[in-house]
Amino acid sequence: MAEAAKTNRLTRTLASLGLKRRSRLNRADAFQKTLYALLTILGLFMILPIVYIFNHALKPYQELFVYPPRIFVEHPTFQNFTELFLVSSSSVVPVTRYLFNSLFTTALTVAAVTIISAMCAYPLSKHRFPGSRLLFATIMLTLMFAPETVGIPRYLVVSHLGIMNTYWGHLLPHLAAPVSVFLMKQFVDQVPNELIEAAKMDGAREFTVFLRVVIPMIMPAVATVAILTFQAAWGNVETSKLFMQDESMKTFPFFLSTLTNGLANSVARQGAAAAAAVVLFLPNFIIFLFFQRKVIATMAHSGIK
């Protein structure tokens, strides 16, 4: 009887939801219905690259080079993924080592950039110390420099610090993130000063205020900074090319860039390259799916109620 009652309640709930959706759609005028249809078509069109990259990785060689190119695979196979792991089986460094380096350095970079950016944004926003405005203006000024202009100074710094061929060489160049500091500061500015003062009057120390009052209120910005940092660090090949001479310290994106280099023809290893592209894309896709609401909240500046 209890199970039948639960089933009936579930059926009524689903029916009511369906009626609400139908009534909402019936209340829409012709323009809104047309807009819904256009947005649906646009959404389907925008997911085509995602569908293509997954289908491309499952294509056998006879379908990889068919003309005109086809989006959907006819005879799916996992041979490309097998080839990806066999490519480096005869070399000194296996593909799993590249994957480990990417995962480890990316996790460290995301954590370090997020923490440092938040700790930099909080005093710039809530503490008026001498030179705070000049410091923030200097941080904003660095946004004007193209990445290529700081390539040589960055190499000299890493070289003189003696951290080449170490994980620090992957981590340190990413720590200075002016975009992340700016984004964090804009959200910390929205935190009411009265709330911080009330927490201090209750006996909370500065670090407690930062950790338990400020951070929960700027979580949309924290999530956005984490996503942007993850994308930059996960797909980065610069540190592997410039700072790593030891092959075992290089990352998976660098390995992907060398899969088809130096070959006698343009056909060999294309299946492995397609599979590697999916492996490189999948973490970004998963991370964004988990934190997309936070990103939307950040763009809408609705993190502070």
Read off the pLDDT of residues 243-253 as tens digits, 9 standing for 90 and up: 988 888 999 88
Please compute, for residue 224, the number of CA atoms within 13 A of its CA located in the half-sphere on the CB side: 22
Please compute, for residue 198, the number of CA atoms within 13 A of its CA located in the half-sphere on the CB side: 8
The mean pLDDT value for 229-240 works out to 89
Rounded Cα distance, 60 and 74, in Å: 9
**Using CA of residue 70, residue 76, residue 78, residue 83, what is the dihedral sign?**
negative
Determine the pLDDT at residue 256: 81
Other residues' Cβ atoms within 10 Å of the Cβ of residue 58: 20
Determine the pLDDT at residue 24: 61
Read off the pLDDT of residues 154-195 as tens digits, 9 standing for 90 and up: 889 988 998 899 999 999 888 888 889 998 998 888 888 888
Residue 295 contacts residue 224 (beta carbons within 8 Å): yes
Burial class (CB in 10 A: 0-12, 13-18, 19+), 110: buried
Task: Give me the domains of the chain, ranges plus CATH numbers.
Answer: 29-77 (no CATH), 93-299 (1.10.3720.10)
Q: Which of 166, 52, 27 is nearest to 101 (CA)?
A: 166
Determine the pLDDT at residue 116: 93
Q: Is the pLDDT of residue 98 over 90?
A: no
Split at pLDDT 50, 70, 90, the class of 105 is: very high
Q: Is the pLDDT of residue 205 over 70?
A: yes
Read off the pLDDT of residues 218-233 as tens digits, 9 standing for 90 and up: 888 888 888 889 988 9
Higher pLDDT, 8 or 67: 67
Model pTM score: 0.76
Residue 98, phi-psi category: left (phi > 0), alpha (psi -120 to 50), beta (remainder): alpha
